[in-house]
């Protein structure tokens, strides 16, 4: 597909991790960009990185908290009168710990950013995409979407929503020129584990982190091919296949084991 200067790409959570890389790659493809995040200074750094890699790139930044109605409105106002070809719904964060011990406001904020903002942005941009007969939406889910996740109960549920929502939208839009893709990364070296606000470095799942570049490239290849779901990495794909065939009780116990930290004696905490 040829890209014109009016084919905007919007990347949420562009101030860090996957989002900053998506911004770089999409600028290299010739898209003018709208980048958004809460942290103005980190967003400026991301914009300068894009411009350093792609001199002449058009980059607008929008400081907005997507957990809030006001933040969503600020971003959507900036997108008015722009032909958005690519929406990367990437902003998000996780929580970690026993559900009852994580502050309720953090879980609510997680749902607002990881779920509600994804729905609201897709809903706002789809009508214009349909009118133009083209558009691409990439929603960042996670491998955690494939099974319930004890100690990340709300995050796992949120990403399961994103996966299910994306697959449903992909089917609704089939043949319309619009594609919807769920990118499901495994644990990856970004700002994500810091944002969990808990030390997860001893858990089997977060002990080893992948590099973000190949994840973003896999997401963009899937976007180009209009694939509804992509799980980057052989090991991650194997886990999702296991998720489909293993008895659910066993799978949840195994996931709990992999997400819980070993106690001081070196045994995995069984809770």
Tell me the catalytic residues. 155
- For tokens 């810091």, what's the residue? 194
- Identify the residue whose tokens are 């502050």: 103
CB of 135 to ligand NAP, least distance (A): 20
- Scanning 185-193, 220-228, 233-241, 260-268 for contacts with ligand NAP by CB under 6 A, the matching segment is 185-193
**Smallest distance from ligand NAP to CB 220, Å:** 14
Binding residues for ligand NAP restricted to 96-155, rule: CB under 6 A: 113, 140, 142
Scanning 23-31, 86-94, 230-238, 245-253 for contacts with ligand NAP by CB under 6 A, the matching segment is 86-94
**Is the Cβ of residue 143 or residue 173 nearer to ligand NAP in the bound state?**
143
* The one segment of 51-59, 87-95, 167-175, 234-242 that binds ligand NAP by CB under 6 A: 87-95
8, containing H or E segment: strand 8-12
Which residues in 10-69 contact ligand NAP (CB under 6 A)? Answer: 13-19, 37-39, 42, 65-67
Task: Give the whole-angstrom CA distance, residue 16 versus residue 43.
Answer: 8
Residue appearing with tokens 């959507």: 76
Min CB(158)–ligand NAP separation in Å: 8
User: Helices H, strands E: what count in the chain?
Assistant: 10, 7
Cβ contacts of residue 184 below 8 Å, gap of 6+? 141, 142, 143, 145, 146, 159, 163, 229, 230, 231, 232, 236, 240
Q: Which of 9, 35, 59, 93 binds ligand NAP (CB under 6 A)?
A: 93
Contact between 209 and 185 (Cβ < 8 Å): no
Element at 139 (helix H, strand E): strand 135-140
> For binding to ligand NAP (CB under 6 A), which residues are involved?
13-19, 37-39, 42, 65-67, 90-94, 113, 140, 142, 185, 187-188, 190-192, 195
């Amino acid at each position: 597909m040829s890209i014109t200067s009016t084919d905007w790409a919007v990347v949420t959570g562009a101030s860090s991790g996957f989002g900053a890389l998506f911004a770089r790659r999409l600028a290299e493809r010739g898209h003018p960009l709208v980048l958004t995040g809460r942290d103005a200074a980190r967003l400026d750094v991301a914009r300068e990185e894009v411009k350093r890699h792609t001199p002449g790139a058009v980059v607008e930044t929008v400081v907005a908290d997507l957990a809030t109605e006001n933040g969503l409105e600020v971003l959507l106002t900036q997108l008015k009168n722009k032909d958005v070809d690519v929406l990367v719904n990437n902003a998000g964060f996780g929580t970690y710990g026993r559900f009852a011990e994580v502050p309720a406001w953090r879980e609510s904020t997680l749902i607002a950013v990881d779920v509600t903002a994804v729905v609201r942005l897709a809903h706002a941009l789809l009508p214009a995409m349909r009118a133009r007969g083209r558009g691409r939406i990439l929603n960042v889910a996670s491998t955690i979407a494939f099974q319930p996740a004890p100690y990340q109960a709300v995050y796992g549920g949120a990403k399961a929503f994103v996966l299910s929502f994306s697959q449903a939208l992909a089917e609704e839009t089939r043949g319309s020129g619009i594609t919807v893709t769920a990118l499901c990364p495994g644990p990856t070296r970004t700002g994500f584990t810091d944002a969990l606000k808990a030390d997860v470095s001893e858990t089997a799942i977060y002990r080893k982190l992948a590099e973000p570049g190949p994840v973003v490239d896999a997401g963009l290849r899937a976007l180009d091919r209009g694939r509804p779901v992509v799980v980057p990495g052989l090991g991650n794909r194997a886990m999702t296949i296991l998720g489909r065939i293993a008895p659910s009780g066993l799978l949840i116990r195994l996931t709990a084991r992999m997400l819980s930290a070993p106690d001081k004696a070196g045994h995995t905490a069984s809770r």
